[in-house]
Amino acid sequence: MAISYLSPNSAVPYTDKTKRESMRIKPEYFILALIVVISLCYILGNREIENQDQLGTNSSLINITPDKLQDSISMGMSFVLFYQPNSDVCKNMECKLNRLALEKGKMVRFNTVNIKDENDVTDKYNISGTPNILLFKNGQEYKRIMGIVPFSNLEMIYERDLK
């Protein structure tokens, strides 16, 4: 037996069944909400891709080949990112390192080395995974940053090691 109430503005009985029907989402509204959510995901996803693509047009990172690496790190302080070109994690670290280079890179070299098919360089510098950032002073490795780290940590390492 359904409980019956009087609706506030009419003398028509208001039952639990009619209350449930009025609370139900109409299919048109559900489809519209789904389209809006999918559209927002698409727009935000494209914006992230565009931000990553801007790295190539406004980059302070110098991409060098493994055979030129020793010449590049031989004098002064250098940050060298060893990366795989098709890795999203590497692209993320590349963006962070580029930001650091743009903001602070006055006295330090920032290089990248693609190690996709370079077994000899991975053996020489003991690169077991990517992304991997090696910090060099006058040709000698003195620090290693493995994996993905927040920008604030990169900034802190830069500030501490520059002194």
Domain extents in the chain:
4-56, 60-162
Q: Shortest CA distance to 160 belongs to which of 87, 104, 115? A: 104
Examine the pLDDT at 116 and tell me if it is beyond 80.
yes
Considering the four listed CATH numbers 3.40.30.10, 3.40.50.300, 3.40.630.10, 3.30.420.40, the one that applies to the domain covering 60-162 is: 3.40.30.10
Q: Minimal CA–CA distance to 115: which of 92, 87, 142?
A: 87
Residue 12 is classified by DSSP as S
Mean pLDDT of the chain: 80
More confident residue, 15 or 80: 80
pLDDT at 82 exceeding the cut of 80: yes
Q: What is the DSSP string of 15-41?
A: EHHHHHHHHSPPHHHHHHHHHHHHHHH
pLDDT range class, residue 71, cuts 50, 70, 90: confident
